[in-house]
Amino acid sequence: MENVRLIVGLGNPGAKYARTRHNVGFQLVERLAERWRASWTVEKKFQSAVARVERNGLVIFLCRPQTFMNASGEAVGPLAAYYRVPLSQVMVAVDDADLPMGEIRLRERGSSGGHHGLESIEQHVGTRDFARLRIGIGRTADGRREITDFVLAPFSATETVLVDRVLAAAVLQVECWLDAGIGKAMSQFNGVVKDSG
C-alpha cells in the first residue's frame, strides 16, 4: 500500500540490554513513538512490540523485534508482508561500529556490513533494497574486530550526552524521509551530528 511505512529499530529485548550500544535502534523508535504519542503493544504473531500512528496522511508502524538481534528477520519479514508494506517504504535503524560515534548515515539500500540483524532481515525478505539508518557507536580504542562485549555494554556518561544529540537528529532525519523522501533526508542529515547548543 502506498501510504504505509514501517520503521524498525533493532536491538535485544530485556532490561539488561536496554541502554547498551547495540540497542540504539530500539532507542530511536522509542523516541519516535513518544514524539508521535503512539503506544506500544506486543504482537505475538510478529514477535514484536509494535506502535501504529497516522501522520500527514501516512500510516506508520514502528517495530521493536523481540527475537534478539540475530533473528530480527523472523519478526520483520512477516510484519512487512502482513501490512503489505513495500520494501522501498521500510527503514531499519541499527547501531554501526564502523561509523564513529556522533555520526549517522542513511542509505537507500546496501550490504549488511556484517551486522547480523540486517543479515537476518535480508535473508527473510530476500533483498537488500530497503533503507537502513546507521547510527555510529564507534569501536573499542584498540580497534579489535571482536567487539561483542563492547556493543553489549552501556554507554558511558559522556557518550550518553552525545547519543542523546545523535538520536534527536536521527528523529528529524526519519521525519524528513517520511515528509520529503530519502534523497533530501540523506543530503540534509548524513554525517557528523552538529551540536545544536
Query: 3-state SS string over 88-106?
Result: HHEEEEEEECCCCCCEEEE
**Cα 157-9-133 angle, rounded to 5 deg:** 85
Strand partners, 49: 42, 64
Q: Which of 22, 115, 116, 124 is labelled catalytic?
A: 22
Start-to-end CA distance of the chain, whole Å, equals 40
Q: How far apart are CA 165 and CA 175, in angstroms?
A: 16
Question: 136, 101 in Cβ contact below 8 A?
Answer: yes
Active site residue 22: yes
Q: Known catalytic residues?
A: 22
